[in-house]
Amino acid sequence: MQAKPVIAIVGRPNVGKSTLFNRIAGKQKAIVIDEPGATRDRNYMDCVFQDKAFTLIDTGGFEPASEERILVQMREQSNLAIEEADVIIFLMDGRDGIIPSDIEIAKQLRGKDKNVFYVANKVDGDRHEEMLTDFYRLGIDEFYPISAQHGLGVDELLTIITRDFPAAADDKDDQDTQIKIAIVGKPNVGKSSLVNRILGKERSIANPTPGTTRDAIDMPLKVHGKNYLLIDTAGIRKKSKISMTLEKYSVVQALKSINRCNIALVLIDAEEGLTEQDTKIIGLAYERGKACIIVVNKWDKIEKDNSTVGKFVEDIKDEIKFMDFAPIIFVSAITGQRAPKIFELIDKVYEQYTKRIGTSSLNDLVEKSVRRNPMARYANRQMHISYATQTDVKPPTFVFFVSNTKGIHFSYERYLTNQIRDTFGFDSVPLKLVFRKKR
């Protein structure tokens, strides 16, 4: 499964980064979850343009409120985006012309071996065009005038940027028996200790193959005769020289790994409990239909009594209602306590994630469920489901043909999801239900 190219939009405040982000991402249907705790603020988005898939990052979402730290922080952000991105859109304000902080950012970008596109925003036609000669002072051969607000020049820019991107592949490969695992979580939660614990104990194949991203090393390993792939373990080992104010960026790294995995192991620090950052990462996995296991690390440090685990589980499930089916395991990467159990859990989850249900059993269940709890009327007509079938795995996806798709209330969808979960043993993975109008 190839890593998608990452495009980052950098530039000083108020040049229109978020407008451009929304303009490019707005062509996408954002999945908006109305559950508390799901990702709300969109600083990144998976996009497809003319059949080329990429992940877009808006560094504008990471700008500090205070003025005096702004330059320091912009420097860090640009650096970070530069580290993570394959392509950089350096956005400037076509009306202001070049100002010192633009020159500063351009200097930084020049030292890096990256593909940079210099873009002048807020250029609405010819009368602004003559203002642009100023930008050649940056010593660049080419820059692109656009108006993010009105969409002028944006498609042309994207066509050039994505020219050499791989076509959006359908990365579902049923023949692929390797279980892909991403270990994600915020900084200092013990990801590298867990990776080392797993690789140290279970190291039967240890020829690191360089992954698709620059520095990612995917680690294949075999446990009890099964093949696994640990994604992007190199990215995990690299201690970032970045101030904690940019913790948000660990989400970007998580995003890259989550896009490529089947199962995300989300590490949480037992002493801190579930943080907003953790919830965000779990939300990313949920939106992408990935299976998730919540690994509470540093459990050896917690004073326990009989109710500690129960209380902890309850608190987590309360915070992430949208993902409350994700199994939770308590480990210590340092002492190795319960770490071997992780693979048993991964196998159980993967089996559900790739399980297929026969059409007749599924329709029997649907019929029983509708009898037990009939659908509400819609537009004064009785709603009914004529047929259901499973169309995909990873995640298990079910299509229902119904008399009117608008008449499906989310509470009824949840009812059907729970019926499928309980009957066919999908208690630990996300399910996707699609409703189509019966032709």
Give pLDDT tens digits for 323-365: 999 999 999 988 888 888 999 999 999 999 999 999 999 999 9
- pLDDT bin (cut points 50, 70, 90) of residue 398 is very high
**DSSP code of 209?**
E
Among 46, 60, 42, smallest CA distance to 5 is for 46
Percent of the chain scoring above 70 in pLDDT? 79
With bands split at pLDDT 50, 70 and 90, how would you rate the model's confidence at 415?
very high
Digit-coded pLDDT (tens) for 71-82: 666 666 666 666
Q: First-to-last CA distance in the chain?
A: 35
Of 54-58, 73-77, 212-216, 223-227, which range is least confident? Answer: 212-216
Q: Is 17 left (phi over 0), alpha (psi -120 to 50) or beta?
A: alpha
Average pLDDT over residues 176-200: 84
Domains and CATH numbers, the chain: 6-161 (3.40.50.300), 179-353 (3.40.50.300), 359-437 (3.30.300.20)
Is pLDDT at 129 greater than 80 in this prediction? no
More confident residue, 277 or 367: 367
Closest CA to 37 of 333, 283, 394: 283
Q: Give the mean pLDDT of the chain.
A: 81
Sign of the CA dihedral running 239, 180, 278, 3: positive
State the pTM of this model: 0.72
Confidence (pLDDT) at 29: 43
Tokens of 361: 């059993």
pLDDT, greater one: 384 or 64? 384
Closest CA to 394 of 171, 88, 238: 171
Q: What percent of the chain has pLDDT over 90?
A: 39
Which strands form 432-437's sheet, in the order they lie side by side? 385-392, 397-402, 432-437
3-state secondary structure of 49: strand
Q: What is the pLDDT of residues 23-73, one digit of tens each?
A: 898 754 444 444 433 334 557 778 889 888 898 888 765 554 445 555 666
More confident residue, 34 or 435: 435
pLDDT at 174: 52
Question: What confidence score (pLDDT) does residue 325 get?
Answer: 95
* pLDDT for residue 62: 53
Which of 25, 53, 23 minimizes the C-alpha distance to 152? 23
The predicted-structure confidence for 134-174, as pLDDT tens digits, reads as follows: 887 888 888 899 999 888 999 999 999 999 898 876 555 55
| Residue 242 pLDDT | 46
Evaluate whether 403 touches 384 at the Cβ level (below 8 Å): yes
Q: Which structure tokens are listed for 97?
A: 């012309």
CA distances from 437 to 379, 385, 386, 401, 415 (A): 15, 9, 10, 6, 19
Helix (H, G, I), strand (E, B) or coil at 16: coil
